[in-house]
Amino acid sequence: MAFGKVIDMKLVSDWRQSLKWFSVQAMALQGATAAAWLALPAEWRETFPAEWMTACAVLLMALGIVGRLVDQGGSDA
């Protein structure tokens, strides 16, 4: 891709089914996990190693990426 080139992005044809896709579920869970972590009181967060949260985020993001690469049924999924 050249610099300055405009990318023409379009929704997939079956976007209404996206909540059923594993990739969307994994990335939504990653976001929810991060939000829940930040909502915890500092004393509670200190009881868990920060590396666990990082590992969880990386794992769920990787699962989301893999989920996008695997055919999940439908025309564009």
**Rounded to 5°, angle at Cα 69 from 59 and 29:** 35
Which has more pLDDT, 70 or 74?
70
The DSSP secondary structure of the chain, one letter per residue, reads: --TTPPP-----TTGGGGGGSHHHHHHHHHHHHHHHHHHS-HHHHTTS-HHHHHHHHHHHHHHHHHHHHS--SSS--
Domain boundaries, the chain: 19-69
Quick one: pLDDT at residue 77?
A: 43
pLDDT bucket at 27, cuts 50 / 70 / 90: very high
pLDDT digits (tens, 9 = 90+) for 28-51: 999 999 999 899 999 999 998 889
Share of the chain above pLDDT 90, in %: 38
CA count, 13 A, side-chain hemisphere, 22: 13
Look at residue 55 and tell me whether its pLDDT is greater than 90.
Answer: yes
Average pLDDT, the chain: 85
Amino acid occupying residue 58: V
